[in-house]
Amino acid sequence: MIFRILICSVYLLTAISGFTQVELSKETTKKEKQKKVTKSEKSEKELSSTGAFVLSNWSFTNRKLIENEGLFGDSLGYRANETGLNTWSFGIGLRSQFHSNFAWEGGISYMKNGEQYLYEEVDTMYSYRTKYTYFAMPIKLYFTYGEKLKFLAGVGVVPQMFAGYQQEVTWRDSEGKEESSSSKLKIGYNSFVISTVFNIGLQYDFTRRIGVFLMPEYRIQLTSSYLKTSSYKHYGRSLGGNIGLIINL
């Protein structure tokens, strides 16, 4: 009788131990899965916090041109009739989301702005297109809202290093003969100018890694393109938009 009781007790203890081990194993597996999910979510979050982008910018550019004060100043003359010019610029950079609603952006751009002039009569014509080229380093702060489809509104400063000036001139004489010339200069202009920039637009992420954005942009040059000894003060203006591809790192 005692022997039977002992055998039953052993079986009971074995069953309880096995059940306990199964429950502990299930609990451990559950915790491991939770840890994996947490790590995966953390990894995905880290993946989408910083992105590298490439963009193209189309802008209608113009200028604010005023007479220089003092000894070197001169009236605007025909230059008062200059009009705007369409230009393309390009850039690369990084955008980092450091807060749920704020991000900073830094990059390098090949930037252009310019103006043009046209005088035309029945038997004569004179025109030119002027472009100013800069290597720029835009630095921006954005307010952001949304996840997959994101709204962005930003403001920033754009330090610009002068890279070159190009003017294409075309004329036609009274006999109808048309000729043209082109000139390029790297001297006689400020080597460094600074602008302020405003952006507002949308970004759509196809996946957590790849997205596209479209952002209208308004840029105002704060310092003159010309030297202090020039006859005028020249401040570039541009209104356009950026279209680009962003890859989250």
Distances (CA, A) of 249 to 47, 48, 125: 5, 7, 54
Is there a single domain that holds both residue 89 and residue 15?
no
The per-residue pLDDT for range 157-187, each reduced to its tens digit, is 999 999 999 999 999 988 878 899 999 988 8
Strand partners for 212 = 204, 245
Is there a single domain that holds both residue 161 and residue 100?
yes
Is there a single domain that holds both residue 54 and residue 38?
no
Mean pLDDT taken over the chain: 86
Question: Tell me, what CATH number does 181's domain have?
Answer: 2.40.160.20
Is there a single domain that holds both residue 9 and residue 69?
no
Q: What is the pLDDT of residue 236?
A: 97
pLDDT higher than threshold 50 for residue 73 = yes
Amino acid at 128: Y
**How many structural domains are present in the chain?**
2
Q: Give dist(CA 123, CA 171) in Å, integer.
A: 11
pLDDT higher than threshold 70 for residue 7 = no
Mean pLDDT, range 191-211, rounded to an integer: 96
Q: Give dist(CA 9, CA 13) in Å, integer.
A: 6
pLDDT higher than threshold 60 for residue 2 = no
Is there a single domain that holds both residue 109 and residue 28?
no
pLDDT higher than threshold 80 for residue 242 = yes
Is there a single domain that holds both residue 132 and residue 67?
yes
Is there a single domain that holds both residue 217 and residue 95?
yes
Residue 215 belongs to domain spanning: 48-248
Distances (CA, A) of 208 to 184, 211, 249: 45, 8, 10
Enter the pTM of the model.
0.79
Is there a single domain that holds both residue 142 and residue 227?
yes
pLDDT band at 69 (very low <50, low <70, confident <90, very high): confident
